Structure 1
Amino acid sequence: MAAKKILILTASIGSGHIKAAEAVAQELKRQQPETEIVTVDFMARSTSFWHWLTKKIYLEMLNFVPNLYDVFYKLSSSETGGSCGKNMFAYFMLPVFERLQHELQPDGIICTHPFPAGTVSLWKEKHQSNLPLSVVMTDYSLHQMWLCSGVENYFMATEAMRQAMVEQGFAAENLHVTGIPISSEVLNLPNKAELRRGLGLGQERKVILLMGGGLGLGGIERTLQELEKIEQPLTLLVIAGRNSQLQQQAEDFAEGSHHTIRVWGYTEEVRKLMGVADLLITKPGALTISEAFALGTPMLLHDPIPGPETENAVYATKHGAAVWLHPGEKLAGAVEEIFHGNCLEKMHEQALQSAKPLASQDIVKIILRSAGFWAGHRE
């Protein structure tokens, strides 16, 4: 049998969709080494200038008018609004997928973002194609933008999401509660003490990791100022991402702080840094939460992007693995409360109980045993 080719379509809107695609690709290669895997960022400039420009406008909107995005998110949450939004983006992006499909001729497609998922769904409908399509949802809540026809397998984080899709008429056998895929690196990390030794960190101080995704969002400079109010000496690890201005601000702040502060820009060591932390202060991205669950890292969540990140914060808080800092609440006081008594230990246990560390393995097993994948779609 000829080797299969799998096309993974993702989108660099935040880092979570990309990380999920990488985790699935890594596991596909492990379970099916002869399979050819091609991963395409649907929103990259190299894929399409117009897709890239759409992404840039979206990110600017988040920076300057976050409430406007909240309105769009809520409007598209309804069945009618979601269908209109999904179709608008699908028709806009269809020519790019038609080019990719012609060039690559994949035997199956996996999407980790709703834009390419809706586009492939539309293409299948227009061409009456049986090309196998799997969709990996990267949120802890269901949104109509994810829901398409012609999807052979849906993978999701929670049973509540599955039940909601069943109620909307999706076939239960196509819906799989696997969790959100994370890298196998998380499962193979050394213990906390060993990680700290490797990074040259002492064992006696509490370690807090501050991060805001690859774009360095989330008010990290303000967080550092708040943490300076805590008298107890701490070790603060700051990941500024690709935000060079934030990196310089954090490095300047470290010179006058009574805490020990170490700063990284964009780094591949995020999971190790999460592994050494007693507490993670971050925006509630779904992949970040999933990795923190697997590592048992308690979280203090703040400044969610209206919409999906708010739902992610609700989920993690409801399960006892995180504290959600709302506007007006004092960060320093929240940290001191978390460090009091056995709160950290309880949050650690709740995080581990919420984890689905084998999501990538389960997703790939289901895809590989799908009849559509092995039968192929070509005449």
Structure 2
Amino acid sequence: MKKILIFTASIGGGHNEAASCLENQFRKHGFIVKKLDALLEINKTLDALIIGSCKILINNFPKLYGGLYDISNRERSNKLITHSLSRISEEKIYEIIVQEKPDLIISTHAFMVGVIGHLKKRRLINIPFMSVVTDYEAHRTYIDENVDAYIAGSNYTSERLIKQGIDKEKIFPYGIPIREEFLKRLESISLKPSSFQILLVAGSLGLKGMKKVLRNIVDMEGNYNIVVVCGKNKGLKRSIEREYDELIKSHKITLYGFTNNIPVIMENSDVIITKPGGLTISEAIAKRLPMIIPYYIPGQEKENLDFLLKKGLAIYVSEIDSIKELIESMMKNPKILDNMKENMKEMYNKSCLDNIIYLSENLIENCNYKMDLNYGS
């Protein structure tokens, strides 16, 4: 049996979710799969430092985070960062590859592209390498001539990769990997309420801005109910429980922390209010669930938002105070939602997971496996 080595990183939830999705799919097709958190494997202290710093910046200094993202996306500074990360990481990563002896390496985080690319450039490994771009705009860190195949979320993403110098023959717009439950219609178990259902999502880290959104929509006119998903932010969930205890008891608000039931909730919702993380918006597109974006993390999420607006898949609300009026107009005029659903239908790629498996099989078959040099040679 062929073996797949998947590298991910726990910076946000999307990279891990995409990696887990691929892990499950490859196992179903008879592959041996090893999934590793790259930063954790390299150095636990480094992992804690990077993830902790990202959480602090995202939650408390989002503009600074966005500025650092933009700086790292410039050619000269990106080369310096990539080179530094490779020097810190590649010896340990090489040891893992030697130990695991994979037939294909996959990364769902841009951090690993430069590391694996440098090992291939030095001819230490000649194993096919696939990079999964988990946002709709590819950061410069994804760019490396030694990547054998890019999985892109859309044709838009493919065009952006080509503009950055990637050979179009290496790019496959098969969609960002998401769980199979999002790729199937679930009418047989649908519990769609008669009221207009609003899904309010914070993301894996939680987002305090959603409390302001909730305050603005709980007293709307019309027949509606609100499903609130706080992610892993336990403090946010407790705060909402205290403030909206009566509405929760009366089932006007349904409150979740982290839940794996999102496919069914999406299936039964009329609109989702969310930040534009790559995985969440891919899941919404697959479910043809119109999106309202009232907040985003500067950097990759701003680029994802630009993509959504260009394709007519979402509405951006710059002032949260106006979100109430927008949803009330959607309830009265469903055509607003229908237009977004139709645009999503054109992007929907039902067989993207199988396409990735077939591509992987071809990459393995066409590669002469070789790893006959010692690190440092």
**Shared fold by TM > 0.5?**
yes
Is the Cα contact below 8 Å between 2:145 and 2:166 reproduced in 1? no
Shift of 1:297: 0.5
Matches within 5 A, 1:74-85: 74-85=70-81
Shift of 1:138: 0.7
Q: Which residue number in structure 2 is paired with residue 136 of structure 1? A: 132
Shift of 1:289: 0.6
Shift of 1:259: 6.8
Shift of 1:378: 4.1
CA–CA distance in structure 1, aligned partners of residues 87 and 332 of structure 2? 54
Quote the RMSD (CA, aligned, Å). 2.2
Shift of 1:78: 2.4
Shift of 1:46: 9.2
In the alignment, residue 308 of structure 2 is paired with which amino acid? A
2:122 partner SS: helix
Shift of 1:153: 0.8
Moved more, 297-306 or 313-322: 313-322
In the alignment, residue 62 of structure 1 is paired with which amino acid? I
Q: Which residue number in structure 2 is paired with residue 166 of structure 1? A: 162
Residue 281 (1) aligns with residue 276 (2): no
Q: Which residue number in structure 2 is paired with residue 225 of structure 1? A: 215
Task: Select 2:360's aligned residue among 342, 354, 367.
Answer: 367
* % identical aligned pairs: 27
Is the Cα contact below 8 Å between 1:8 and 1:40 reproduced in 2? yes
Is the Cα contact below 8 Å between 1:237 and 1:263 reproduced in 2? yes
Q: Which residue number in structure 1 is paired with residue 264 of structure 2? A: 272
Distance 1:38 1:212, change over 3 A: same
Task: Select 1:27's aligned residue among 25, 46, 61.
Answer: 25
Q: Which residue number in structure 1 is paired with residue 342 of structure 2? A: 349
2:345 partner SS: helix
In the alignment, residue 279 of structure 1 is paired with which amino acid? V
CA–CA distance in structure 1, aligned partners of residues 285 and 163 of structure 2? 28
Q: Which structure 2 residue ranges, 5 or more long, are not aligned?
A: 373-377
Residue 292 (1) aligns with residue 284 (2): yes
Q: Which structure 1 residue ranges, 5 or more long, are not aligned?
A: none
Is the Cα contact below 8 Å between 2:143 and 2:166 reproduced in 1? no
Shift of 1:345: 2.1
Distance 1:82 1:340, change over 3 A: farther
CA–CA distance in structure 2, aligned partners of residues 47 and 264 of structure 1? 33
Deviations along 1:287-318, one digit per CA (max 9) or x if unpaired, are: 11111011011111121111111111121222
Shift of 1:101: 2.0
Give the TM-score normalised by structure 2.
Answer: 0.90
2:242 partner SS: helix
Is the Cα contact below 8 Å between 1:141 and 1:161 reproduced in 2? yes
Q: Which residue number in structure 1 is paired with residue 298 of structure 2? A: 306
Is the Cα contact below 8 Å between 2:127 and 2:367 reproduced in 1? no
Shift of 1:167: 4.2
Is the Cα contact below 8 Å between 2:137 and 2:160 reproduced in 1? no
Q: Which residue number in structure 2 is paired with residue 73 of structure 1? A: 69
CA–CA distance in structure 1, aligned partners of residues 42 and 83 of structure 2? 23
Shift of 1:228: 1.9
CA–CA distance in structure 1, aligned partners of residues 166 and 310 of structure 2? 27
Give the TM-score normalised by structure 1.
Answer: 0.90
In the alignment, residue 349 of structure 1 is paired with which amino acid? E
In the alignment, residue 290 of structure 2 is paired with which amino acid? P
Number of aligned residues: 369
